[in-house]
Chain A
Amino acid sequence: MGFLDTLLGRTKPVQPKLDDLFALPSAAITLQASSGFTPTGSGSVCFRSVEGKTFSDIESDVRDLLNMDAGKPGGGLPVEVTRDSYGYTWLVSSHLSDELDALVTDLHAVNSALVDNGFGPQLLCTLVAFRDERERRLALVYLYKRGTFYPFAPLSGQQRDNALEIQIKNALADDLKIEQDLTRWFPVWGAPGM
């Protein structure tokens, strides 16, 4: 934000960065090789709904678009829409675990639908879920406004496995843009799609 915008108190809503999301499939291969975590095939996009019919129309259009391929080979399951307790909407897309490309394409379709309709600033984050053999849960969370990823490893009862998160961060340092500011690694407890 420029000096003049600050002085005049007109913050511009921040447009999302979308391109870095496509680094995910190749990073998943690195992740599997280095720490044994494999994609579960599901992921979700989280955005802040805007009141009014215009936005809810766009929301249902996106759902219809993603559901067109559901059931066909590579199409995955129908998308699930959930509203969390903070008022954010999560679109969950579920595929087979080896269809990460298709999953990322789905997630990107949501992004572009919102951006094309002028609601890009409403995008909060995208997460893609992983598991290892010990059934430990891990999500890679993509922050739209920063264009960066961070790992989120929930344990039972609102605890995070910080050691695992740091380990994943170091393992993926060459493949993904990792968020360096640790204060921005906010927890997404009970996020749909994990």
Chain B
Amino acid sequence: MARTRYAPDRGLTVRMTVTMFLLGLVFVAFVAAIIGILTAVHASGAAIVLVALIFGGGSAIASLFYSDKIALSAAGARVVTPQEAPELHAIVDRLCALADMDKPRVAIAPTAMPNAFATGRNSKNSVLCVTEGLLYRSDLDTEELEGVLAHELSHVAHKDVQVMTVASLLAIVAGLLVRFAFYSELFGGGRRSSNNNQGGIPVVLIIMAVSVVVYAVSFLLIRVLSRYRELAADRSGALLTGQPSALASALTKVSQGMSRIPNEDLRAAEPLNAFYFAPAMKLTRGGGGGGGGGGGKSLSQLFSTHPSLEKRLEQLAKIQRELGQPTVGGLSAGSGD
């Protein structure tokens, strides 16, 4: 009974753990630096830090709490009943029964770009949204559509919205601190000499510099984390349906379909990018850095919320091999590598 074909991907787990650890480390270093600076100068900038924390934390909690409503209204999507979209609901019903998870609400967005996203603060309040382009225009067959939906349901199961919100909190606070420090420097410049007991660089400037570094580093780490979580969702989705190649062909079709769509749609979709099935911003970014060659490509990869198509297909091919292993011999030991 204990044997399984579905051993977790150790490499991915390790990389994700390291990324999260680094994010945590940056967070601790950031707090320590701010406390250090403030105690050194007898808390002159405490107000700024406090305000940034309250604003940053508040906006993160609010965006998490209302994530489903925000995402639905940003995408112009509408929640549909089983009567309105029986096929779509039937696929989701079956996937949820296979995965033993609560069924999210199902929504359709009137967008020509073929894509899908899932969001929500917890499993009871999550919503799974597909675009009309994915349903009607992208010539995906039922199994490919199922693969896309399984990928999105895996995001819900992995609580990716919650994880990414917590991960982004640091960057939000650091970003706000930069802004606040900049404005207080701009408008309150006259007072600072009295606060500054070192006589050297003003405190706000130091906080600003620290925040800029923290913002940049955490921004990169969040993007790394986001890419790993996409790979994890691909993996779980493919294992759930047992059809990695259906997901692979859906990915290929959706990526191709995206390049046919005009720019207006892409720009409108930008705020939702991190939760999408395939990155909606790919075209604009590719167009901007067209002459970059190899170096430009790897740079855009660094800032991307999604792994490259090649990487995702490569992983799915590996899963396909694992699922095809003959039964003889120890299964659970075999797929670990």
| Chain A contact residues, CB within 8 Å of chain B | 1, 6-15, 48-55, 58, 85-88, 115-119, 121-122, 124-125, 143, 145-146, 158, 181, 183-184, 186-187, 189
Contacts and interface: CB of A to CB of B under 8 A. Distances in A.
Chain A interface, >50% SS class: loop
B311 to A, nearest CB: 16
Contacts, number: 129
B94 interface: yes
Contact of B13 (A8, A53, A55): A8
Contacts of B228: 9
Contact of A51 (B9, B13, B146, B320): B320
Contact of A87 (B82, B99, B146, B239): B146
Contacts of B96: 184
A118 B324 contact: no
Contacts of B6: 12-13, 121
B236 A10 contact: yes
A118 to B, nearest CB: 4
Interface of B: 1, 3-6, 8-9, 12-13, 16-17, 20, 82, 86, 90-91, 93-94, 96-100, 102-103, 142-143, 146, 154, 157-160, 163, 228-229, 232-233, 235-236, 239-246, 320, 323-327, 331
A54 B323 contact: yes
A6 B159 contact: yes
- Name the residue among A118, A125, A143 with the largest chain B CB count within 10 angstroms: A118
Contacts of B142: 85-87
A114 to B, nearest CB: 11
A135 to B, nearest CB: 25
Given A14-B99, A86-B146, A119-B242, 4 more contacts: A6-B158, A9-B154, A118-B327, A121-B240
B1 A115 contact: yes
Going nearest first, the 6 A-B pairs with the smallest beta carbon separation are A9-B232, A50-B242, A186-B93, A52-B324, A145-B100, A9-B158
A9 B230 CA distance: 9
Given A9-B160, A54-B326, A119-B5, A48 B98 contact: yes
Nearest to A185: B93
B296 to A, nearest CB: 29
Contacts of A119: 5, 242
Nearest to B95: A48
Contacts of A51: 242-246, 320, 323-324
Given A9-B160, A118-B5, A88 B94 contact: yes
B97 A125 contact: yes
Contact of A1 (B98, B143, B157, B243): B157
5 contacts: A9-B160, A10-B12, A11-B236, A87-B243, A186-B94
Contacts of B242: 48-51, 55, 119, 122
B304 to A, nearest CB: 18
A10 B234 CA distance: 11
Given A55-B242, A145-B98, A184-B97, A9 B323 contact: no
B327 A117 contact: yes
A10 B9 contact: yes
A118 B4 contact: yes
